Amino acid sequence: FVIATLEQKTMASFVAENIFVQTFSFNDELYYATGTQSQRGLFYQWEKKVLFEQDGKSAQINIAISSNGIEDIYQLTSYKVLQ
C-alpha cells in the first residue's frame, strides 16, 4: 500500500510539472483550466488556478492533482514574473 501511494504521488507530480511547464512557457496559458492526463495507465485529474497580483507584474500558479476520488494527491504552487 505504501509503495502504491508513493508511486501515485510521484506520477501525480509528473502531471503537475507537465501542466506547470506548459503554463510557465506561454503567457497565453495563464488562465483557469481543468483536465485529465494519463501516467503509467492511471488517469489523473488536474485543476490549474492562476491568480494575478494587484500590480499586474506577476502571477501565482496553483495546480492540484486528484485521482480515483482522492483529492489533492499533489499540489504545486509557483510564481511567474510577467513582462
Determine the Cα–Cα distance for residues 75 and 46; give it in Å rounded to an integer: 10
> Which pLDDT score is estimated for 1?
61
Determine the Cα–Cα distance for residues 60 and 82; give it in Å rounded to an integer: 11
Which of left, alpha, beta for 80 (phi over 0: left; psi -120 to 50: alpha)?
Answer: beta
Confidence class for position 66, pLDDT limits 50, 70, 90 = very high
Calculate the average pLDDT of the chain. 92
